Amino acid sequence: MYRQNAWKKHAKKLDKVMEFAEGYKHYISEGKTERLAVNEAIKLLEAKGFKDVTKVKSLKAGSKVYFLNKNKNVCAFIIGNRPLTEGLRILGAHIDSPRLDLKEHPVYERGGFAFGDTHYYGGVKKYQWVTIPLALHGIIVKKDGTSVVVNVGEEENDPVVGITDLLPHLAADQMAKPLAKAIEGESLDITLGSIPLLEEEKGTVKANVLKILKDKYDIEEEDLISAEIEIVPAGKARDYGLDRSMIAGYGHDDRCCAYTSLLALLDTKAKDVTNTACCILVDKEEIGSVGATGAHSLFFENTVARLADLLGIANPLYAARITLENSKMLSSDVSAAYDPLYAYVSDPNNVAYFGEGLVFNKYTGSRGKSSSNDSNPEYYAWIRKVMDEANVHWQNAELGKVDQGGGGTIAYILGNYNMNVIDAGIAVLNMHAPMEIISKVDLYEAYLGYKAFLIG
Ligand code: MN
Ligand code: MN
């Protein structure tokens, strides 16, 4: 069902679309960091009988297993009845989102306030992050190896933090600057408090904030060096629009594709799996997929080798390479939705529209498809067949007009294994803003499309 409005297909069973969205809203409201998104994913996997690989001695057709990497990256499989080396069906999404991170030495005092110094993560429009309620999530690891979980700002009675901005009355200089310069990265600092430490005569506001942290988490200032505290928009995802057709929330990019990919795997029956089905959720996409938990990590290759070993295949590392080369992948990542208020950035024939279902991007990249995985037409034709046979609503897009900008995904990284990969995801408005928007019917069609792909 190419380029048709998907709501009509669901007219008789809108409840299904709406109910699916409720599960997703819960997922992104609870999973605002990569660690939390992984925790929620593991709860879902275990509820469906997937076993932690560290508790597994061998695998066979029908086995369900997951691999956890440093609590920020997870990879789950249903073993198919064809030999592993005939290739996987991979759904790969990322679970990191643009945000602000606390620096290693973050707490300072100025003008009667204690602040938390931050360094933004990923592509943010800085002016969007001021004067909104923000929450703190993460962990602080002490020298003895124990860690404490930080979660402030989500409950109704929790305090929130935030970043100040100038009043319009005194913003003459600021308003004359280009948007990219109006708010500087170095001044994106969160306000942490304003009461001095009262029990000491010369007690400072900073000392009081550190005392609060000590009382609550039993940590010293130095422990913040080995911490990972992410500052994200506070509050839960909500219905958007009077017709409740959309979802407003933080982190749709790319947790909407992560959730639908994961659910597609969870809801696939083992008996229907021919090629081993896989869902991999990676970290660090927003900063180039680098590092141990990003798509460039050897974790995935090692995991497939371990899978081969547990299946009793000789020479598992070589088997992993052959398996990956024969695999088919959907790089499940969001696409920029057509915004009628900013129509000038899009080519109307090659842009994603809300309500028209799963979006395929043959290529991404920028300035002449640079750094893009450009999918083979032979593979794309197979995808079209699978989608049409499963009655999935789908559309094609590229990221904006030629020379307007661009972006990348993890597609090219897995493409390096010589496997067939294409980007397939959900259209997002306000991408990378603290409040992103998606359509509920696109979320549902993506889920249906991913399911069809796994057994197609
Ligand atoms: Mn993305
Ligand atoms: Mn992104």
Same domain, 211 and 111: yes
What was the pLDDT predicted at 366?
85
* Domain boundary residue, one of 206, 233, 260: 233
Same domain, 127 and 32: no
Same domain, 395 and 282: yes
SS3 64: strand
Distance of CA 1 from the midpoint of ligand 1 (Å): 25
User: Would residue 238 count as lying in a domain?
Assistant: no
Query: In sequence order, what are the beta bridge partners of 151?
Result: 137
Distance of CA 162 from the midpoint of ligand 2 (Å): 22
What residues contact residue 185 under an 8 Å CB cut-off, 6+ apart?
Answer: 119, 120, 126
Distance between CA 278 and CA 74 in Å, rounded?
Answer: 11
Distance of CA 222 from the midpoint of ligand 2 (Å): 32
Q: Inform me whether the pLDDT recorded for 270 exceeds 90.
A: yes
Distance of CA 96 from the midpoint of ligand 2 (Å): 8
Same domain, 310 and 344: yes
Beta strand 358-361 with 246-249 is unpaired
Distance of CA 161 from the midpoint of ligand 2 (Å): 24
Distance of CA 100 from the midpoint of ligand 2 (Å): 14
Distance of CA 94 from the midpoint of ligand 1 (Å): 7
Same domain, 147 and 268: no
Distance of CA 273 from the midpoint of ligand 1 (Å): 27
Identify the nearest ligand to the CA of 333 by its number: 1
Same domain, 56 and 41: yes
Identify the nearest ligand to the CA of 287 by its number: 2
* Domain boundary residue, one of 205, 233, 261: 233
Looking up residue 129, the CATH number of its domain turns out to be 2.30.250.10
What does the CA dihedral 409, 415, 419, 421 come to, rounded to 10 degrees?
A: 30
Same domain, 142 and 64: no
- The total number of structural domains in the chain stands at 2
Same domain, 172 and 273: no
What was the pLDDT predicted at 273?
98
Residue 197: Cβ within 10 Å count: 17
Distance of CA 334 from the midpoint of ligand 2 (Å): 8
User: Would residue 240 count as lying in a domain?
Assistant: no
Q: Inform me whether the pLDDT recorded for 368 exceeds 90.
A: no
User: Would residue 242 count as lying in a domain?
Assistant: no
SS3 68: strand
Q: Which of 352, 428, 360 is nearest to 28 (CA)?
A: 428
Residues with CB under 5 A from ligand 1 (ion): 253-254, 333
Distance of CA 441 from the midpoint of ligand 2 (Å): 21
What was the pLDDT predicted at 165?
97
User: Would residue 239 count as lying in a domain?
Assistant: no
What was the pLDDT predicted at 333?
97
CB 346 within 8 A of CB 400: yes
Distance between CA 256 and CA 262 in Å, rounded?
Answer: 10
Looking up residue 40, the CATH number of its domain turns out to be 3.40.630.10
Q: Which of 453, 446, 449, 443 is nearest to 25 (CA)?
A: 443
Mean pLDDT of 72-97: 98
Write out the DSSP string of 151-197.
Answer: EES-STTS--B------GGG-HHHHTS-HHHHS-GGG--EEEE----
Compute φ and ψ for 310, nearest 5 degrees. Answer: -70, -20
Beta strand 64-69 with 277-282 is unpaired
Residue 337 belongs to domain spanning: 6-97+250-455
CB 360 within 8 A of CB 352: no
Compute φ and ψ for 12, nearest 5 degrees. Answer: -80, -20
Q: What number of CA atoms fall less than 13 Å from residue 145's CA on the CB side?
A: 0
Same domain, 261 and 398: yes
Same domain, 85 and 208: no
Identify the nearest ligand to the CA of 286 by its number: 2
Compute φ and ψ for 225, nearest 5 degrees. Answer: -65, -45
User: Would residue 341 count as lying in a domain?
Assistant: yes
Q: Which of 129, 180, 123, 125 is nearest to 407 (CA)?
A: 123
Distance of CA 425 from the midpoint of ligand 1 (Å): 9
> Is the pTM of the predicted complex or chain greater than 0.85?
yes
Distance of CA 25 from the midpoint of ligand 2 (Å): 19
User: Would residue 1 count as lying in a domain?
Assistant: no
Identify the nearest ligand to the CA of 123 by its number: 2
What are the start-end ranges of the E strands in 112-217?
A: 113-121, 134-141, 147-152, 190-193
Tens-place pLDDT, residues 36-74: 999 999 999 999 999 999 999 999 999 999 999 999 999
Q: Inform me whether the pLDDT recorded for 365 exceeds 90.
A: no
Identify the nearest ligand to the CA of 121 by its number: 2
Angle between helix axes 299-310 and 316-325 (nearest 10 degrees) is 110
Which amino acid is it at 307? Answer: L
Mean pLDDT of 171-189: 97
Q: Inform me whether the pLDDT recorded for 158 exceeds 90.
A: yes
Distance of CA 281 from the midpoint of ligand 2 (Å): 14
Distance of CA 58 from the midpoint of ligand 1 (Å): 35
Distance between CA 307 and CA 90 in Å, rounded?
Answer: 14
Same domain, 262 and 393: yes
Same domain, 79 and 55: yes
